[in-house]
């Protein structure tokens, strides 16, 4: 009996990872009814991280925290044993502001720090902060303040929320924030490797998608530079080095704030693959299917589908990929996947904004992969039979 592992990420803005897995599984099972099909919805540190943790046996409770616009909201807190996982996107993500409003200079990570304080009540050993998909560019200042850090202006009052407020920062003291996390292994699961500043930094690269125009991007860049300068003078050793670290620019600078507190940065894709036991499942699989909303150049930088394919390659498990769209060349895709199917190649409509259409097309993709696997298996069996027959005749 064949064993098939279906392990996709979400199709952002269209289908959650579990719905993608469901649709693919239906398609595969309709063609291979006797196959064992295992679903493993994945995440890389952005939206859906808490759901992926739940699939790994984490318990979920909902907490009340401050959203990016200052309004209260509920968000999931996942826990298992001594580990707590916090999904930043559920607290201050792009989708959490009313009607998708963009407030690039004022959006705050205060709620992330509040979630950490709530998590500390149960005295965990490890706090995993899944960062990605946020609406903020405040360098993690809001999170630090919620944990007790003092970030003040010349008159001694606290800086205003958001990255824009950091332009007035003149003094900082992170002592309380560092102390409250003493003895805690703080892990930041990041999905990008950008530094904090510069042309590849968080403001320049991600500010526009959070609603920042050219002038606002420049303002955020200066504000984050001021943040580093003040932390250096406040005795935060290695602040400049932390800002230059790959991943410091993750989640609008939450990576930088985490590093300032002594956190470890880890690839979100690799972290969740390990958390969910993907390698063990792959070892028992004959075929695997992965994918995400867009297979593009960012995918090649180690995002989830490529990370998954890398693990599968070590175990000699063939991997097929599905995507909402694919801009990779055949050569680029072929280095990682046996085949790639893009939904945009299967319809003239817009599947990115039609979940029902996407699910139908994903079922068709599952059928196509199953048909290919079955035909390859038959060809392999026939070839084996011929070789076996020739061997027997030769021995005779």
User: In the prediction, which pLDDT does 377 show?
Assistant: 75
Task: Name the pLDDT band for 388 (thresholds 50, 70, 90).
Answer: very low
| Residue 291 φ/ψ region, left for φ over 0, alpha for ψ in the -120 to 50 degree band, beta for the rest | left
Residues 154 and 65 in one domain: yes
Residues 176 and 281 in one domain: no
Residues 233 and 117 in one domain: yes
Task: Name the pLDDT band for 239 (thresholds 50, 70, 90).
Answer: very high
Identify the residue with better confidence: 100 or 206: 206
Hey, how many other C-beta atoms are within 10 angstroms of the C-beta on 367? 18
Residues 282 and 249 in one domain: no
Residue 365 burial class via C-beta count within 10 angstroms: exposed 0-12, middle 13-18, buried 19 and up? buried
Residues 229 and 140 in one domain: yes
Residues 137 and 261 in one domain: yes
Residues 280 and 384 in one domain: yes
Residue-number span of the structural domain to which 53 is assigned: 49-269
Q: Decide the pairing of beta strands 319-326 and 72-80.
A: unpaired
- Picking from 233, 249, 269, the residue at the C-terminal end of a domain is 269
CA distance 109 to 138: 7
Task: Name the pLDDT band for 347 (thresholds 50, 70, 90).
Answer: very high
Hey, how many other C-beta atoms are within 10 angstroms of the C-beta on 5? 25
User: In the prediction, which pLDDT does 45 show?
Assistant: 85
Read off the pTM.
0.85
What integer is the mean pLDDT of 221-229? 97
Report which of 313, 316, 293 is spatially closest to residue 303, judged by C-alpha positions.
Answer: 293
- Picking from 254, 269, 284, the residue at the C-terminal end of a domain is 269
Residues 206 and 334 in one domain: no
Q: What is the CATH number of the domain that holds 15?
A: 3.40.50.10350
Task: Name the pLDDT band for 366 (thresholds 50, 70, 90).
Answer: very high
pLDDT in tens, 305-340: 999 999 999 999 999 999 999 999 999 999 999 999
Residues 319 and 380 in one domain: yes
Positive or negative, the Cα torsion across 20, 25, 28, 30? negative
What integer is the mean pLDDT of 169-178? 97
CA distance 105 to 157: 19
User: In the prediction, which pLDDT does 251 show?
Assistant: 93
User: In the prediction, which pLDDT does 179 show?
Assistant: 96
Residues 58 and 99 in one domain: yes
CA distance 249 to 253: 4
Is the pLDDT at 384 greater than 50, yes or no?
no
HSE-up of residue 354 (Cα within 13 Å, Cβ side): 13
Q: What is the CATH number of the domain that holds 163?
A: 3.90.1510.10
Asked if residue 324 lies in contact with residue 351, where contact means CB atoms within 8 angstroms, the answer is: yes
Task: Give me 5's structure tokens.
Answer: 């592992």
Q: What does pLDDT average to over the chain?
A: 92
CA distance 188 to 249: 12
pLDDT in tens, 186-199: 999 998 889 999 99
Task: Name the pLDDT band for 390 (thresholds 50, 70, 90).
Answer: very low
pLDDT in tens, 81-108: 999 999 999 999 988 776 556 799 999 9
Q: b/e per residue, 98-114, with b = 16+ CB within 10 A?
A: eeeebbbbbbbbbbbbb
Identify the residue with better confidence: 42 or 145: 145
Residues 53 and 97 in one domain: yes
- Picking from 239, 269, 299, the residue at the C-terminal end of a domain is 269
Residues 58 and 25 in one domain: no
What integer is the mean pLDDT of 75-82? 96
User: In the prediction, which pLDDT does 393 show?
Assistant: 52
Total count of domains within the chain: 2
Task: Give me 213's structure tokens.
Answer: 């125009």
Hey, how many other C-beta atoms are within 10 angstroms of the C-beta on 229? 15
């Amino acid at each position: 009996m064949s064993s098939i592992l279906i392990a996709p990420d979400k199709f952002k803005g269209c289908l959650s990872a579990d719905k993608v897995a469901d649709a693919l599984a239906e398609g595969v099972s309709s063609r291979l009814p006797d196959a064992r099909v295992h679903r493993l919805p994945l995440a890389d540190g952005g939206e859906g991280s808490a759901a992926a943790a739940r699939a790994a046996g984490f318990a979920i409770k909902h907490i009340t925290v401050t959203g990016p616009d200052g309004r209260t909201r509920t968000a999931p807190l996942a826990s298992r044993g001594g580990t707590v996982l916090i999904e930043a996107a559920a607290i201050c993500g792009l989708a959490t502001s009313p009607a998708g409003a963009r407030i690039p200079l004022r959006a705050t990570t205060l709620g992330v720090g509040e979630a950490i304080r709530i998590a500390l009540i149960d005295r965990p050993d490890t706090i995993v902060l899944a960062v990605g998909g946020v609406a903020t560019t405040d360098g993690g200042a809001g999170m630090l303040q919620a944990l007790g850090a003092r970030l003040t202006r010349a008159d001694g009052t606290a800086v205003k929320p958001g990255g824009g407020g950091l332009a007035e920062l003149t003094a900082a003291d992170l002592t309380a924030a560092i102390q409250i996390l003493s003895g805690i292994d703080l892990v930041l699961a990041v999905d990008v490797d950008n530094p904090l500043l510069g042309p590849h930094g968080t403001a320049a690269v991600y500010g526009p998608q959070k609603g920042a125009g050219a002038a606002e991007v420049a303002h955020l860049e200066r504000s984050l530079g001021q943040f580093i300068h003040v932390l250096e003078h406040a005795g935060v050793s290695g602040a400049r080095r932390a800002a230059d670290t790959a991943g410091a620019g993750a989640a609008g600078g939450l990576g930088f704030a985490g590093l300032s507190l002594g956190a470890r940065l880890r690839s979100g894709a690799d972290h969740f693959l390990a958390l969910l036991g993907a390698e063990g499942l792959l070892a028992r699989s004959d075929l695997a299917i992965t994918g995400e909303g867009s297979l593009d150049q960012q995918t090649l930088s180690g995002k989830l589908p490529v990370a998954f394919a890398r693990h599968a390659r070590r175990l000699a498990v063939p991997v097929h990929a599905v995507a909402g769209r694919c801009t990779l060349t055949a050569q680029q895709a072929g280095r990682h996947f046996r085949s790639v199917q893009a939904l945009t190649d299967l319809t003239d409509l817009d599947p990115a904004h039609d979940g029902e259409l996407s699910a139908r097309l994903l079922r068709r993709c599952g059928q196509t992969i199953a048909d290919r696997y079955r035909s390859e298996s038959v060809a392999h069996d026939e070839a084996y039979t011929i070789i076996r027959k020739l061997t027997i005749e030769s021995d005779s």
